[in-house]
Amino acid sequence: MSNTMKESLYLLKIRLLEIEPEIWRRVVVPDDITLDRLHDVIQIVMGWTDSHLHEFTIGKKRYTEYPESKEDGLESGKYHLKNLVKQKGRTFNYLYDFGDSWEHEVTLEDSRYFNPDLQSGIECLGGAGACPPEDVGGVPGYYEFCKAITDPHHEEHESFMEWCGGEYDRERFNPAEVNLELMKYQRWSRDRLR
């Protein structure tokens, strides 16, 4: 990315709430990203599979993908982040999977982020911890899962190991892998000439 890039960038920190040790990501996004695109980015950087419903809560308003009525929220694809969140330090919530209720806190760490070494306008700068497996049962299920897979004598050890594909390292996080997925996403979601 060159120094002459015209888009303004936000630096966000995304934390998965109620998990210790903390699972978090730091990501750069264009300030004019729509909430439906921000959802895509969060899915990629956190490691979710986009298999469940989600919603953003900013102030007292909820934003979701396909609201059936105003009571269900506002359509996320119609709203740009810069029009909803402007102040450094401002936080808002992102809820993924209404059954497991994975709550994320998103903090605007810098509203005028600049780094000449960025490779693109959407990039993960860091993070810690592996994403919990989908459908593990929320925070309580995740803790039980972690206990079972680390204890070969646990009654659920074998079934959980088979369920998760034989391995799960709760500390694993590789920003290079995440950025490769973000580059693919940007390539496939870019505007095209007709």
- Asked whether residue 4 is assigned to any structural domain, the reply reads no
Contact 107, 150 (CB under 8 A): no
30 and 126 inside one domain? yes
- Asked whether residue 194 is assigned to any structural domain, the reply reads no
Specify the number of domains making up the chain: 2
32 and 108 inside one domain? yes
81 and 149 inside one domain? no
Domain that holds residue 137: 131-170
* Residue 97: Cβ-neighbour burial (10 angstroms; 0-12, 13-18, 19+): middle
- Asked whether residue 135 is assigned to any structural domain, the reply reads yes
Single pTM value for the model: 0.92
39 and 115 inside one domain? yes
124 and 147 inside one domain? no
From residue 127, give the alpha-carbon distance in Å to each of 18, 34, 134, 175.
16, 23, 19, 7
Among residues 158, 105, 165, the alpha carbon closest in space to that of 134 is found at: 165
**Interval 139-187: pLDDT, tens:** 999 999 999 999 999 999 999 999 988 889 999 999 999 999 999 998 8
106 and 18 inside one domain? yes
**Interval 112-143: pLDDT, tens:** 999 999 988 999 999 999 999 999 999 999 99
112 and 182 inside one domain? yes
**Interval 17-64: pLDDT, tens:** 999 999 999 999 999 999 999 999 999 999 999 999 999 999 999 999
- Asked whether residue 125 is assigned to any structural domain, the reply reads yes
